[in-house]
Amino acid sequence: MKKNKKKIRLMLLAVLLIFIIPGLDQRLYLRKYEMDSDKIQTPVRIVLLTDLHSCYYGKNQERLLQAIASQNPDMITLAGDIFDDQLPDENTETVLKAVSEKYPCCYVTGNHEGWCTKEKFQKNMQFLKDHHIMILAGKSEILEIQKQKLIISGIDDPDSLAYSENKNNTEQQMQGLNPDSQEQTYHILLSHRPELFPEYQNLNFDLVLCGHAHGGQWRIPYLLNGLYAPNQGLFPEYAGGLYQSGQMTMIVSRGLARESTKLPRFYNRPELVVIDLK
């Protein structure tokens, strides 16, 4: 009887370990999406980086930079929390310097940029400007990539408004962008927060790119797409993935945060998001 109990305990422990160990895999995951639109005549490949939080991806950030280069993107979108309020900026600066030398880059603030001191925030924004990275604080840019015209707009995170050069609040910034669904140019919104999905639906963007939720930090494959996300609470609806509303799609990256978070990610590998517009 005692022997049987011990056997059962050992078997339970083994099952538990078999479940837990793969869940703690923190290697970078490449997540790909394909978006079809009549507004796209020439395919465009976008890499979405969010929530890097100045985390470490090997010497000179090689693991992340090699993964980006392997995808040969046409442009890079940076959807906030690229810098961190606690961690030093070197890891982020290494990534930004490398990508800005090779690709057009667009950036919006996240909440953690807004939680920095004013001096650190201003230093970070100056770094972006010095590297010709477009800061989209309630404004739009028209880009022409591979002869394909795109409109890319961005709004500040609500927690970064105090430092922003744009004095409008996030909603006013969004209203000012005024997308038009009849417009034949594909219109992308870059915004840190996925929980504003209902507000994005009131406008006519083709694609919205977000981060912030970190995939809900803990996931259970096929059962739970995220346990907790900031500003959404438990069992967040917009933890990560693709969300559709009429003609508009929102893609939420699970982000790149690793050591910046006290609890390890679980079945939620940090992800590099690649989007093919075609």
Interface contacts to Fe ion, rule CB under 5 A: 81, 110-111, 212
CA distance 164 to 14: 52
Smallest distance, Å, CB 112 to Fe ion? Answer: 6
Cβ(163)–Cβ(118) below 8 Å: yes
Cβ(89)–Cβ(54) below 8 Å: yes
Helix, strand or coil for residue 97? helix
Q: Based on CB atoms, which residue is closest to Fe ion, 110 or 270?
A: 110
Q: Based on CB atoms, which residue is closest to Fe ion, 148 or 191?
A: 191
Smallest distance, Å, CB 184 to Fe ion? Answer: 33
Smallest distance, Å, CB 89 to Fe ion? Answer: 16
Class of residue 233 by CB neighbours under 10 A (exposed 0-12, middle 13-18, buried 19+): exposed
Helix, strand or coil for residue 71? helix
The token duo for 33 is 């999406």
CA distance 91 to 103: 18
Radius of gyration, CA atoms only, the chain: 20
Q: Is 222 left (phi over 0), alpha (psi -120 to 50) or beta?
A: left
Cβ(203)–Cβ(167) below 8 Å: no
Q: Based on CB atoms, which residue is closest to Fe ion, 212 or 269?
A: 212
Smallest distance, Å, CB 217 to Fe ion? Answer: 12
Q: Based on CB atoms, which residue is closest to Fe ion, 81 or 206?
A: 81
Smallest distance, Å, CB 183 to Fe ion? Answer: 30
Cβ(257)–Cβ(270) below 8 Å: yes
CA distance 267 to 223: 11
- CB closest to Fe ion, residue no: 212
Smallest distance, Å, CB 136 to Fe ion? Answer: 17
Q: Based on CB atoms, which residue is closest to Fe ion, 110 or 138?
A: 110
Q: Based on CB atoms, which residue is closest to Fe ion, 85 or 276?
A: 85
Q: Based on CB atoms, which residue is closest to Fe ion, 214 or 269?
A: 214
Q: Give the Å distances, CA to CA, from 18 to 161, 164, 236.
A: 45, 47, 27
Smallest distance, Å, CB 150 to Fe ion? Answer: 25
